[in-house]
Amino acid sequence: MMPPFRVPSMIRNLVCAGALGAAAALLLGSVAHAAADIANLPRDLSPWGMFRNADIVVKVVMAGLAIASLATWTVWLSKTIELRRETARARDGLAKLETDTTLAELGRDAEGAHDAVSQLIQTAAREGSLSGWTFDADFKDRVALRLERVEAAMARKIASGTGILATIGAVAPFVGLFGTVWGIMNAFIGISEAHTTNLAVVAPGIAEALLA
């Protein structure tokens, strides 16, 4: 009866050494790939750094949104100042109306002024002058009609320039969404070109999308 075949210890050691070498090579290769991925990641993750590293389309979108934001703040500041100034003028005009002064005298004092109360006084004084200062039954209706026209004109003046806010409010979310979609699309394109889903490929597109 033949003795059982046994692998010599030298061969067994060589096989073990080869397996360990292959495992070490795979481990070193994965570590090298991870180091390369980390090296390829963008270093500057600040908003300005992400903007500089973004695609040209995303840059245009973010620049447009920045301009729209600047326009919105400009309109808000200018209208705040204008409303405070007109409010102060209206209070002064109402204080004059409380004094013991005739409509004709108020009309003469308000000549050349362009605030709302002065315009109302001038309109009422003009109608009184045309009526010969005869306050008949229809005088109130005629004055009310003139005052409504002045009120509408003053409202249009105050509201001028605010239409851009409605335009920005309606368009800006869709512009930002377009930048987001474009960044996600760049992320998928990078995945398809690199045939991998590692962080170095996905991160730039996701950063563009989130920033937009």
Strand, helix or coil for residue 207:
helix
Does 80 fall in a domain?
yes
SS (H, E, C) 171-185: HHHHHHHHHHHHHHH
- Residues 56, 16, single domain; the answer is no
Distance CA 19, CA 70 (A): 65
55, HSE (Cβ side, Cα atoms, 13 Å): 22
Residue whose pair of structure tokens reads 């790939």 in the numeric block: 33
Reported as a pLDDT band with limits 50, 70 and 90, residue 40 is low
Intra-chain end-to-end CA distance of the chain, in Å: 81
Polymer length of the chain: 212
- Residues 167, 186, single domain; the answer is yes
Buried/exposed 127-139: b ≥16 CB within 10 Å, e otherwise: bbeeeeeeeeeee
Does 22 fall in a domain?
yes
pLDDT tens per residue, range 92-149: 877 877 777 777 777 777 777 777 788 788 888 887 777 777 777 777 888 888 888 8
Percentage of residues in the chain having pLDDT higher than 90: 9
User: CA quadruple 66, 72, 74, 80: dihedral positive or negative?
Assistant: negative
Does 175 fall in a domain?
yes
The number of domains in the chain is: 2
DSSP 3: P
pTM above 0.75, yes or no: no
Q: Which domain holds residue 67?
A: 47-211
Q: Which residues contact 13 (CB under 8 A, 6 or more apart)?
A: none
**Residue 35 has what pLDDT?**
47
- Residues 75, 159, single domain; the answer is yes
DSSP 100: S
Distance CA 72, CA 70 (A): 5
pLDDT: is 1 or 64 the higher one?
64
**Residue 23 has what pLDDT?**
44
